[in-house]
Structure 1
Amino acid sequence: MDKPVLRADARRNRAKVLAAAEEAFAVDGLAVPLDEIARIAGVGAGTVYRHFPSKEALFQAVVLDRVEQFAQEARDLLTAEEPGEAFFGFFKRVVQQASRNRALCDALAETTGSAFKASAGNDFRVASQALLTRAQAAGAVREDIDGDDLRALIAGCLAAERYSLEERHLVRIVVDGLRTFHSTCTLRNKK
């Protein structure tokens, strides 16, 4: 079933609510009242309830919105001059940003849950796979991994971020392991 098309002002209000909710959930988790999210967004509580019938629906929308943003970023990077660096930068940003949000971690790690039944999850998979394939064709990323491996590596890095004492250490090791011998040598020569 298609979503109804929103008027421009309704789209802007929905975007304000999503941004405010992402900020509020990051600080207070699900304990934040919807009225507080409305205040942060600069809209009335009725506007929040009109777009999101419950706090859980809003929370799910925030997660899906972020997954859609990641997918769009991956698509935008498909024309980058340096495919390898575009891929590695994207990989690190996804892990860094998602590690701050437990629900987003879970959404990126799952393969059959609600977030990935939605088109946003499929868009993320397709776009990140295309970015990976382009980096592999440029000789920057090992050819023996595929999109499923990439998803598993992202999920693994997210778990590592939660338990690692040294910030970004394990992610750096994974990224180095994804590089081809040629791209590792080129990277060392740039330093």
Structure 2
Amino acid sequence: MARSTGGPLRADAQRNREKILSAAVRVFAEEGLNAHLERIAKEAGVGSGTLYRNFPTREILIEAAYRNELAKLCDAAPELLATLPPVEALRAWMGRFIDYATAKFGMADALRALVESGANPYAQSHEMMLAALASLLDAAVRAGEIRSDIGATDMFAALTGIALASGKPEQREQAERLLDLTLDGLLSR
């Protein structure tokens, strides 16, 4: 990320920014739109001044936290493919999708208020996720590990359904079983 002056962030400033964004996701998920920004700063281990220097308004913080979660999800696809066999990378990403969805559901009130203010945190989200998912599916098809007749749009619909049905933290075991069942249906026989 770059500061408004155009220069790159120092390593410690980048770490602080990441800690703030992670804390924001947790706190907004727990407390909703009325979460105190001071609590986010405290959970991140930074001062309020550091939080406000990076995110001058609540809306900017909410949008940045959401976009950071989206980027982590989408950036995970090439990282997983570089370190795991394609079908294992796909399954690991599926689990991360549930993590992303859980965070997004937890932040629903904050995100809804952001949209009502005129911002669109979801711009290109769907396309980014489909591209990441397509790269994983394509790699697994090329490796002969999964069927070739299921595209990213179908798989995205399946993952979204699992997230809607079992996306709460207390439902994680069920979500994992459903992810395994979905992957099993994709395997080449």
Given the two structures, how large is their TM-score scaled by the length of structure 1?
Answer: 0.74
| 1:17 alignment partner in structure 2 | 20
Q: 1:24 to 1:116 in 2, by over 3 A?
A: closer
2:56 counterpart letter in structure 1: P
Who is 2:139 aligned against?
134
Compute the displacement of 1:135 (Å). 0.6
Aligned to 1:117: 123
Query: Is the Cα–Cα contact under 8 Å of residues 22 and 62 in structure 1 kept in the other structure?
Result: yes
Q: Is the 8 A contact 2:29 2:106 kept in 1?
A: no
How many residues get paired? 174
After TM superposition, the structure 1 stretch with the greater mean CA deviation from structure 2, 142-151 or 169-178, is 169-178
Residue 43 in 1 paired to residue 43 in 2? no
Q: Which of 162, 177, 183 is the aligned partner of 1:175?
A: 183
Amino acid in structure 1 at the alignment position of 2:156: R
CA distance, structure 1, for counterparts of residue 93 and residue 159 of structure 2: 11
Gaps of 5+ in 1: 108-112, 182-191
Deviations 1:157-183 (A, max 9, x none): 2112148977224333322222222xx
How far has the Cα of 1:71 moved from its partner?
1.5
Residue 7 of structure 1 corresponds to which residue in structure 2?
A: 9
Q: Are the equivalent residues in 2 in contact too, given 1:87–1:132 (CA < 8 A)? A: yes
8 Å contact 1:18–1:62 — kept in the other structure?
Answer: yes
The partner residue of 2:59 within 43, 56, 61 is 56
Instruction: Please identify runs of 4+ aligned residues in structure 1 that moved more than 6 A.
Output: 163-166
Structure 2, unmatched stretches of 5+, are 112-118
Q: 1-side partners of 2:13 and 2:86: how far apart?
A: 37
Q: Equivalent residue for 2:33? A: 30
- What is the SS of the residue equivalent to 2:19? helix
Structure scoring higher RCO (CA < 8 A, sep ≥ 6) equals 2
The amino acid of 2:41's aligned partner reads: A
Contact 2:87 2:140 in 1 (8 A): yes
TM-score, L = length of structure 2: 0.74
When residues 69 and 81 of structure 1 are mapped into structure 2, their CA distance, relative to the original with a 3 A threshold, is closer
- Give the Cα separation in 2 of the matches to 1:12 and 1:80: 24
Amino acid at match of 2:9: R
What is the DSSP-based 3-state SS (H/G/I as helix, E as strand, rest coil) of the residue aligned with 2:174?
coil
Sort the Cα spacing of 1:80 and 1:63 in 2 relative to 1 into closer, same or farther, 3 A.
same
3-state SS in 2 of match to 1:117? coil
Contact 2:101–2:167 (Cα < 8 Å) also in 1: no
Listed one character per residue, the Cα deviations across residues 140-170 of structure 1 (whole Å, up to 9, x for unaligned) are: 2221122222222221221121489772243
